[in-house]
Structure 1
């Protein structure tokens, strides 16, 4: 088979990658070319003609395929191995994967259920979809923490897990279903900056705000995609080749700098973990999302 035809067939359906993702693949390509030239050079070196035949042509085609195949998952569904992971590319791929996830909206009187594994055991949460119904948090040891719904601007006050009769407090609904959030990465980034929990420029606080939304809230696909897209804009991101979430599931990790002044011997960085093949959000190195869904009542499981 003609080598140019071979190369064309290998690469025809594969879109081009972004230039930032090509460094390692380009190096492999040039190594293959150099090796092929060394094997096929004539005694008259001044001719310097490459002869790509047999195994050399097939190997070269494979090398070129490897170069163009490093495209975002939204284009081809593939991504380089975790060892070569770029944090921005991983988060963009996670956004593309989230966008393809089914996301039928819950009914206002339903509950968003999430089970997470944490260092001190498991936590189950039932969040009111519209924030007006009474939700619940349950811990492994059986401890219950009521989540009073906000109705007409007032919420029931509890002492432990017992309501105080006739005692309410001002409130705003805190819905578990967040259809009110931006669906564009730039707009989501602006929202996170405007509603951050830390001081201006606190990347660590913004990262934790991202996790707060990702862990126990039900986000429409476009909103979840915007959240990961906004996270990709955070400065100082770093990919971790082989990470594990709190449940021990392997994946590719993304982390960010600690706060200025934090002691690295005491303060451990948060690592967001995504499945390396599907880019599904798994959780973090301290909290793993092991089950989620929508149910009709607090205490019910999917």
Structure 2
């Protein structure tokens, strides 16, 4: 685990500035994390096949049959995390804001790469994605359109025959389809605009939100980190909530800065990250100058746990554009009913 220890000790290449000294002075004593038990990972592609993913690009853990939740641990700001996330918080309101209205749609355009498993084989699926999500919060009327890109071999393996179907369809945009309905999820896991625009704007309250009903099972900090990703992927927070999210994320134990990262579109940036129980460093990437959120990346730091060479990129995404639209494309069955 030498590589893991080394990667977790990365420090930001950004030189300290006066605006960070106040944060550093408020650092609290560290807290010992409980031992990590066995875990279960749920594949992302199964969710994407139906449309909207509840948390894009990060591991999702079952909530059922888990230990009782406990209050979040004391707030601890690590200097390495403060150096990138505090700047992201400070720049949260530097760009013109979107102000979507009820009846409109937020439109997210992205590019992603994630692992796909079938019949004991694994490879990396790549795709472009555009999704229209209602401002009011219901995903029932959400519309999804995807375009498959040429798949890649999973690091250390050959491209299996099962990936040939994706190769044949690569470069051909799919038809708009109904997005999966995630309205049954718990209220505190929602990431639609109607909900996130009411989230807390102060750090401590936002942190409590991230730890809502998180059980004391040794994975609570990583699950809180997952929820940060859920509020960044295909979600748009107003500037005040966005800044609070970044400040709260800096207090999650185990979060570090990665000096160099790259999103799925090839854009270079600096990242805040945490190592998953699967031996993958899950990175949230920011532009070095504007500190706009760019996307995510998963990099192997433990070859045995991840079943891939150290340094391999096994997942990535790029949030290319977020906009507002008055309507969404008609899906095929809707168009057929309208013509009848």
Aligned to 1:140: 147
Question: Tell me, which stretches of 5 or more residues in structure 2 are unaligned?
Answer: 1-16, 25-78, 114-125, 149-173, 298-315, 331-340
Question: Tell me, which stretches of 5 or more residues in structure 1 are unaligned?
Answer: 1-13, 22-84, 156-168
- Offset from partner CA, 1:91-127 (integer Å, 9 cap, x none): 0110111133332421110001111110121111111
* 2:91 is the counterpart of 1:97: yes
Residue 145 of structure 1, CA deviation:
4.1
Q: What is the alpha-carbon distance in structure 2 between the residues aligned to residue 197 and residue 299 of structure 1? A: 40
Aligned to 2:202: 184
Q: What is the alpha-carbon distance in structure 1 between the residues aligned to residue 295 and residue 130 of structure 2? A: 15
Q: What is the alpha-carbon distance in structure 2 between the residues aligned to residue 138 and residue 16 of structure 1? A: 43
Q: Is the 8 A contact 1:176 1:216 kept in 2?
A: no
Cα 1:234–1:145, aligned 2, differ >3 Å: closer, same or farther?
A: farther
Aligned to 1:275: 287
Q: What is the alpha-carbon distance in structure 2 between the residues aligned to residue 103 and residue 90 of structure 1? A: 21
Considering only CA atoms, is the larger Rg found in Structure 1 or Structure 2? Answer: 1
* 2:228 is the counterpart of 1:210: yes
Q: Is the 8 A contact 1:116 1:287 kept in 2?
A: yes
Q: From the two aligned structures, give the one with the greater helix fraction.
A: 1
Cα 1:226–1:15, aligned 2, differ >3 Å: closer, same or farther?
A: closer
Cα 1:291–1:196, aligned 2, differ >3 Å: closer, same or farther?
A: farther
- Offset from partner CA, 1:188-245 (integer Å, 9 cap, x none): 1000101559956522222221111112112111011111111111111221111111
Aligned to 2:127: 121
Q: Is the 8 A contact 2:103 2:134 kept in 1?
A: yes
Q: What is the alpha-carbon distance in structure 2 between the residues aligned to residue 149 and residue 122 of structure 1? A: 20
Q: What is the alpha-carbon distance in structure 1 between the residues aligned to residue 186 and residue 260 of structure 2? A: 43
Q: Which residue among 288, 299, 317 is the counterpart of 1:287?
A: 317
Q: Is the 8 A contact 1:243 1:252 kept in 2?
A: yes
Q: What is the alpha-carbon distance in structure 1 between the residues aligned to residue 227 and residue 284 of structure 2? A: 12
Q: What is the alpha-carbon distance in structure 1 between the residues aligned to residue 110 and residue 271 of structure 2? A: 18
Residue 99 of structure 1 aligns to a residue in which SS?
A: coil
Residue 174 of structure 1, CA deviation:
7.0
How do residues 18-97 of structure 1 correspond to structure 2 at under 5 angstroms?
A: 18=21, 86-97=80-91
Cα RMSD (Å): 3.3
The aligned length equals 202
Cα 1:93–1:197, aligned 2, differ >3 Å: closer, same or farther?
A: farther
Instruction: Provide TM-score, normalisation by structure 2.
Output: 0.52
Greater RCO (CA < 8 Å, at least 6 residues apart): 2
Poorly superposed stretches of 4+, deviation over 3 Å? 14-17, 147-150, 169-177, 195-201
Residue 231 of structure 2 aligns to a residue in which SS?
A: helix
Q: What is the alpha-carbon distance in structure 1 between the residues aligned to residue 263 and residue 192 of structure 2? A: 26
Aligned to 2:247: 229
Aligned to 2:328: 298
Q: What is the alpha-carbon distance in structure 2 between the residues aligned to residue 243 and residue 223 of structure 1? A: 25
- Offset from partner CA, 1:44-99 (integer Å, 9 cap, x none): xxxxxxxxxxxxxxxxxxxxxxxxxxxxxxxxxxxxxxxxx932121011011113
Aligned to 2:192: 175
Residue 186 of structure 1 aligns to a residue in which SS?
A: helix
Aligned to 1:256: 274
Residue 136 of structure 1, CA deviation:
1.1
Residue 170 of structure 1, CA deviation:
11
Residue 284 of structure 1 aligns to a residue in which SS?
A: strand
> Quick check: 249-258 or 197-206, which moved more?
197-206
Cα 1:219–1:135, aligned 2, differ >3 Å: closer, same or farther?
A: same
Q: Is the 8 A contact 1:130 1:174 kept in 2?
A: no
